[in-house]
Structure 1
Amino acid sequence: MNKVSEKYAPALLKEKRYFPNLNGIRCIAALLVVCHHLEQAKHAYGIANLYEYPIIQHAGRLGVGLFFVLSGFLITYLLLDERGRFGNVDAKKFYLRRVFRIWPIYFLIIGLSFFVFPHLDLLAFPGTEEKLSVHATERLILLALVLPNFAFVLYDLPYWCAQTWSIGVEEQFYYLWPWLIKYPKNRLVILLLFLGITGGILFLGLDYLDPDDQTRNAIVGTFIGQFRIQTMALGGLCAYLVYYEKHYILNLLFRKDVQLIVYTVLVVLFLSGIHFFGFLELYAVFFGFFVLNVSCNKNSVINLENRVMIHLGKISYGLYIYHVFVIVLMINFLRAYVPGLDGATYQLTVYILSLAGSVLVSSASYTFLEKPLLSYKDRRFGR
């Protein structure tokens, strides 16, 4: 390896699966989503809010996009590493690992949202009754099949679990990605089959629902806008660069002056509220650059390794799943028991209570439910 390559080379060898700063990335992504939903919930209740500001409206989408890029990066690297070390990808173990990580609290929030939360006054949310009564069976079937993104675009979901749509997108990425890496010569066939099945499920749902043309177009447009497999694929491309040590590209991306320029542009775009739509969002490219640098570049200008961000990153999946019902709970609690609270005092209080409550619930879930299952998963099926 030449001196230039050594200077900017990935900090980790292929045999090592640990990447620094990833919990910090998860922390940032989760907090973006929490802020978005807090303002969205206040807007739904008619409480003073910032939801109309573009920076707030897009914060949730950007947070999810950051999660998607990171997920694509990690999953691709692990699959490439497994194929490189063992000559194959064990799809069965891959799916069992995903099941133990994703399904327990996914099904927990679904069950609570349909069978417990509707009966609690402190969790009342505007417009929920119709989403629990109309097409309830169809919703539950799709959710039971871990197709929450289909349930969301076709029938909508109760607010407490509406965020699970992104879990569906990630799960479908998992259905596709191992096979592309396991059978690289058949990638086109696998991709076309996957897209055919996905499109078939959507249009079967549309035929059953039988909406008018305008509504049908809106549903399809929403589904395509949320079905961001290409964003996760971009994260996969970043993993490819690292795993195969493409130093002629990494050397450029890891330069300190390039980092400073890219991050300055990213901050300016984010604060301006400018958003980009299309097959591949510009922000996803920024996120790929960010993930590559903080996780693989020993000369990264950003370091996210601190206690708070590490902890929030560890509990970020629970934070993402639980924060919506905690926000609703805290808003209703303040409305019921502190009705005179308003202005800046109210805004600060609802933020503190919502964030603290979300962290508390997520930490308890991680300690008593997720961590034991993850330990079993690691022992039984590997990481």
Structure 2
Amino acid sequence: MEKKKYFDVIQVYRGIAALLVVVHHTYASFEHFHDFNIPTLGFLAKIGKLGVDFFFVLSGFIITYTTFKYRGDRGYLKKYFSARVLRIYIPYLPIAIALIILYRIFPSISESDRSISMLTSLTLFPSGNPVLSVAWTLVFEMFFYVVYALNFFSKKLWYFFLTGWIVCILSASVFNLKSTIPMVQNFLNLYNLEFILGVLIAYLIKSKYKPDFKVIFPLALGGILVFLYMRYFNISLFAFSQNLMFSLCMGLFVILAIYFWNKQLNAKNVFMLLGNSSYSLYLLHNPLQSVLVRVVPKLNIQLFILIEFLMVIVTITFVSYLYYLIFEKKIISMVKEKLDIYLA
């Protein structure tokens, strides 16, 4: 009998990925407003933006693994889309709407000069910049979920499409093919390879593949060291090579989590709590840190600035957890209960 697979470590990964992005943005703000300068932390903070790449790999893996038995089942489409829409939009829209109102009243509050697309901000349809800067990743996420729906129409069609999609993305990159159409830009973007990597890992795990820890673990650690070397010396073998190297390593860690670290964690474990609230943390951290970094006292001693930096991150994490309890957990649960009755 196949050993039951838990997703607790995967959930912890989600928390780590979100925290990486939080550290990245918060450090950049402290660097700008407070002359914060700790080189080692700065190097790691810049790597933190690749938490997004980790998220994409995890998303591709989770959606494929959890819906595996519904391949080719068109009857599952309604439930699939309703679950995705609830999960993405209910926590997102209150923040997006609040920012739209805020920027309308105080247009100079943001130092960014990027144009804002109302269509993208409210629907996540690829047509321009969303009001919440990090929501560009949600545009990719929703785009992938829509494309992934082909999997429920026909398994063969999906496999054929997936292969063609990879070829199109790589061809566009190799031959530097460009498009002015946002939808086509999204379709050909290299970030999609990370979702696809997650999909392929899920297929691998669902097969009879039996990995060897003595092979996978050294490969993962070795890959991380190679990535850090590439990052430190700014080595880029080809476009997106650092991102792909990092994503491949994270893919190996997903395999390790499912096969070798497959255990149930205490629900009150701080890393589980962080993982559970990772989406809210991701959504809220930039608006929160943008405010907090402006109100904390400006100090001249790096150690004291470091303490402020850590306090801001802890505050963001705590507020995000409260938001998770209200919107992600309570309201989604209420709406889902009503929707389940409708879909039944």
TM-score (structure 2 length as normaliser): 0.79
The equivalent of 2:211 in structure 1 is: 251
Q: 1:24 to 1:326 in 2, by over 3 A?
A: same
Match of 2:180 in 1: 203
Structure 2 CA distance for aligned equivalents of residues 81 and 12 of structure 1: 16
> Could you tell me how far apart the structure 2 residues matched to 1:376 and 1:27 are?
24
- How many percent of aligned residue pairs carry the same amino acid? 23
Evaluate the alpha carbon distance shift between residue 363 and residue 117 of structure 1 in structure 2; reply closer, same or farther with a 3 A threshold.
farther
Residue 361, structure 1, aligned to residue 339, structure 2: no
Identify the residue that residue 330 of structure 1 maps to in structure 2: 292
- Letter aligned with residue 45 of structure 2: I
Residues 253-292 of structure 1 aligned to structure 2 (within 5 Å): 255=213, 257-272=214-229, 273-274=231-232, 277-278=239-240, 281-292=244-255
Indicate the RMSD between aligned Cα atoms, in angstroms: 3.7
**Structure 2: which 5+ runs fail to align?**
173-178
Q: Return the alpha-carbon distance in structure 2 between the equivalents of residues 190 and 375 of structure 1.
A: 33
Q: 1:243 to 1:224 in 2, by over 3 A?
A: closer
Match of 2:78 among 92, 110, 116: 92
Question: Displacement of 1:54 after TM fit?
Answer: 5.0
Superimposed CA distance per residue, residues 157-214 of structure 1 (whole angstroms, 9 cap, x where no aligned partner): 55xx211110110100100112135312323468879989xx9xx62469xxxxxxxx
Change (3 A) 1:344 1:50: closer
Output the CA distance in 2 between the equivalents of 1:43 and 1:346.
14
State the one-letter code of the partner of 2:14: R
Please give the alpha-carbon distance, in whole angstroms, between the structure 1 residues aligned to 2:35 and 2:144: 37
Amino acid at match of 1:48: F
Structure 1 residues 306, 105: closer, same or farther in 2, change over 3 A? closer
Distance in 2 of aligned mates of 1:288 and 1:305? 24
**Hey, what does 2:271 align to over in structure 1?**
309
TM-score scaled by length of structure 1: 0.72
Would you say 1:145 and 2:137 are equivalent positions? no
Correspondence 1:182 to 2:153: yes
In structure 2, the residue matched to 1:112 is 98
Q: Report whether the alignment pairs 1:12 with 2:15.
A: no
Conserved in 1, the CA contact under 8 Å of 2:224 and 2:249? Answer: no
Check whether the contact 1:24–1:309 (CA below 8 A) recurs between aligned residues: yes
Superposed counterparts of 1:34-49, under 5 Å? 34-45=22-33, 47-49=35-37
1:233 matched to 2:160? The reply is no
Q: Distance in 2 between matches of 1:109 and 1:95?
A: 22
Which 10-residue stretch deviates more, 63-72 or 349-358? 349-358
How many equivalent residue pairs?
Answer: 323
Q: What amino acid does structure 1 have at the position aligned with 2:153?
A: K
Q: SS of 1:295's equivalent?
A: helix
Deviation at 1:115, TM superposition (A): 1.2
* Corresponding residue of 1:318: 280
Q: In 1, Cα distance between the equivalents of 2:146 and 2:313? A: 33
2:175 counterpart residue number:
none
The match for 1:162 among 118, 133, 138 is 133
1:126 paired residue among 111, 114, 133: 111
Q: Note the residue ranges of structure 1 that are not aligned, 5 or more in a row.
A: 2-9, 207-219
